[in-house]
Amino acid sequence: MEVKCSICGRKEKITKVHKDYTKLARDTKAVFTCELCRSRLRYQALQSQKPERPI
């Protein structure tokens, strides 16, 4: 199955072994994000939760 990342638009082929395969196969409106975008979002979320450093 070929899916497209919702953020960057990169196309990837996923197999039945992929963790999101069943969700994407069942639901036509399911959102898929590639590993690079997922890592970027996780990093940005962690950085936004850190307290600001005093100047």
pLDDT value at 28 more than 80: no
**Does residue 41 sit within a domain?**
yes
Please tell me the distance from the alpha carbon of residue 31 to that of residue 20, in angstroms, as a whole number: 10
Structural domain boundaries, residue 42: 2-49
**Does residue 54 sit within a domain?**
no
Please tell me the distance from the alpha carbon of residue 39 to that of residue 17, in angstroms, as a whole number: 20
Model pLDDT, residue 43: 97
**Does residue 43 sit within a domain?**
yes
SS3 34: coil
What is the DSSP secondary-structure string of 2-22?
Answer: EEE-TTT--EEE--TTSTTHH
**Does residue 55 sit within a domain?**
no
pLDDT value at 11 more than 90: yes
Whether the pTM exceeds 0.85: the reply is no
Report the pLDDT averaged over residues 7-31: 89
Domain count for the chain, please give it: 1
**Does residue 39 sit within a domain?**
yes
Residue 19: pLDDT band (50, 70, 90) is: confident
More confident residue, 29 or 33: 33
